[in-house]
Chains A and B, each alone.
Chain A
Amino acid sequence: AQSVTQLGSHVSVSEGALVLLRCNYSSSVPPYLFWYVQYPNQGLQLLLKYTSAATLVKGINGFEAEFKKSETSFHLTKPSAHMSDAAEYFCAVSGNNNDMRFGAGTRLTVKP
Chain B
Amino acid sequence: GAVVSQHPSWVICKSGTSVKIECRSLDFQATTMFWYRQFPKQSLMLMATSNEGSKATYEQGVEKDKFLINHASLTLSTLTVTSAHPEDSSFYICSVADSWTQYFGPGTRLLVL
Chain A residues near B (Cβ < 8 Å): 32, 34, 36, 41-46, 49, 51, 90, 92, 94-96, 98-100, 102-105
Contacts and interface: CB of A to CB of B under 8 A. Distances in A.
Given A43-B4, A43-B106, 10 more contacts: A32-B101, A41-B91, A42-B106, A42-B107, A44-B44, A51-B101, A94-B101, A98-B100, A100-B102, A103-B43
A43 B109 CA distance: 11
A104 B103 CA distance: 19
B105 A43 contact: yes
B32 interface: yes
Given A41-B109, A42-B106, A42-B107, A49 B43 contact: no
B104 interface: yes
What is the predominant secondary structure among interface residues of chain B facing chain A?
strand
A44 B104 contact: yes
B43 A90 contact: yes
User: Which of B42, B49, B100, B101 has the most chain A CB within a 10 Å cutoff?
Assistant: B100
Contact of B101 (A34, A99, A103, A104): A34
User: Which of A94, A98, A99, A102 has the most chain B CB within a 10 Å cutoff?
Assistant: A98
Given A90-B44, A102-B44, A41 B104 contact: no
Contact of B32 (A41, A95, A96, A98): A98
B100 A46 contact: no
A77 to B, nearest CB: 21
A51 B104 contact: no
Contacts of B99: 51
A43 B100 contact: no
Contacts of A36: 104
B100 A32 contact: yes
B97 interface: yes
Contacts of A92: 102
